[in-house]
Amino acid sequence: MRIGIIGGTGGIGEGMALRMAPFHTVVIGSRETEKAQVCCRECEEILMKKGLSCSLIGKTNQETVDFADLVILAIPFKFLVPTLQELKGLEGKVVVSPVNPIEKTGEYFSYVPPSEGSAALLARKLLPEGTQLCLAFNNIAANRWRDLDDPLEYSVAVCGDDMGAKRKVMELAAGTPHLRPLDAGPLAVAPLVESLTPLLLNLGRFNRMKDVGVRFF
Ligand SMILES: NC(=O)c1ccc[n+]([C@@H]2O[C@H](COP(=O)([O-])OP(=O)(O)OC[C@H]3O[C@@H](n4cnc5c(N)ncnc54)[C@H](OP(=O)(O)O)[C@@H]3O)[C@@H](O)[C@H]2O)c1
């Protein structure tokens, strides 16, 4: 599967690229080609030191959409609207939102969803008809993705209205060692998954725990 990561130069994008590139062709997308290519070289070096071969390409965000079968929106919530308004050709693709609309007020994090109810529901409104949108990977911290010595012993809640797309996203998660994908229902329940993240951040902060995640048994 050809995985494209919009904003793949960021914390979670680069971490996901590191974990997925040994198993898939991964395109790291950026607003700047040069930045994407530098990020690819850095990831290749990290993986090579671990003795892992990989398939990584750096492109603009639009070229990433054009090339990929599955597109991950690894951008901060505040850039979701302008980014989706700019990108063309997402219809027919599987699109994954790990986006969490959260804010820090003083000492704690809060869930601050848009009027649509969640980031994924806002994305659904903006994406062209025929886009197969799913939500996944919202509750795993970027540092955990990046630390390749640390097994990702987490559950991945996956939401979506298209069963075929959801299956592909669950397969992608299951192909990443130790991750356990779970069907969390339709996209309508996206607020429940997204709002878990500020809870995890607050638990980490107030209990001096690092990069708290979830595992459902
Ligand atoms: N960080 C985490 O631990 C974590 C965990 C779970 C979910 N998430 C979610 O994943 C998403 C990405 O988080 P992140 O921490 O990886 O974000 P980030 O590092 O702050 O940013 C990701 C990328 O967004 C791009 N970007 C910056 N300004 C932009 C703009 N004005 N327009 C379009 N793109 C812009 C940049 O790529 P270029 O400059 O290369 O274009 C940047 O590398 C967020 O929605 C977050 O809620 C994050």
pLDDT score, position 34: 98
- 133: CATH: 3.40.50.720
Spatial distance between the Cα atoms of 59 and 78, rounded to a whole number of angstroms: 22
In a domain, 213, yes or no: no
Query: Could you list the pLDDT tens digit for every one of the 217 residues in the chain?
Result: 899 999 999 999 999 999 999 999 999 999 999 999 999 999 999 999 999 999 999 999 999 999 999 999 999 999 999 999 999 999 999 999 999 999 999 999 999 999 999 999 999 999 999 999 999 999 999 999 999 999 999 999 999 999 999 999 999 999 999 999 999 999 999 999 999 999 999 999 999 999 999 999 8
Q: Whose CA is nearest to atom 42 of ligand 1?
A: 10
Q: Are 187 and 125 in contact (CB under 8 A)?
A: no
Residue 212 in domain = no
Look up residue 147 and give its two tokens.
């630390």
Please check whether residue 211 lies inside any domain of the structure: no
pLDDT of residue 10: 98
14 Rama class: left (phi>0) / alpha (psi -120 to 50) / beta? alpha
Report how many domains make up the chain.
Answer: 1
- Output the pLDDT for position 57: 98
* Any domain includes 133: yes
pTM summary value: 0.98
145 Cα nearest atom in ligand 1:
3
Q: What is the pLDDT of residue 16?
A: 98
Task: Report helix, strand and coil shares of the chain as percent, to nearest 5.
Answer: 40, 25, 35
Atom of ligand 1 nearest to the CA of 11: 16
**Is residue 149 situated within a structural domain?**
yes
Is residue 217 in a domain? no
DSSP string, 137-163: -TTS-HHHHH-TTS----EEEEEES-H
Contact 9 CB / ligand 1 (< 6 Å): yes
Residue 36 lies in a domain: yes
Pocket test for ligand 1, best of 5, 12, 126 (most atoms within 8 A of CB): 12
Pocket flag, ligand 1, residue 100 (CB < 6 Å)? yes
Please choose from 27, 75, 103 the residue to mutate so as to test ligand 1's pocket, defined by most ligand atoms within 8 A of CB.
75
Confirm or reject: Cβ of 10 under 6 Å from ligand 1: yes
Hey, what are 190's tokens? Answer: 């996206």
Establish if 27 belongs to a structural domain: yes
Q: Which domain holds residue 155?
A: 2-206
Residue 213 CA, distance from chain mean position: 15
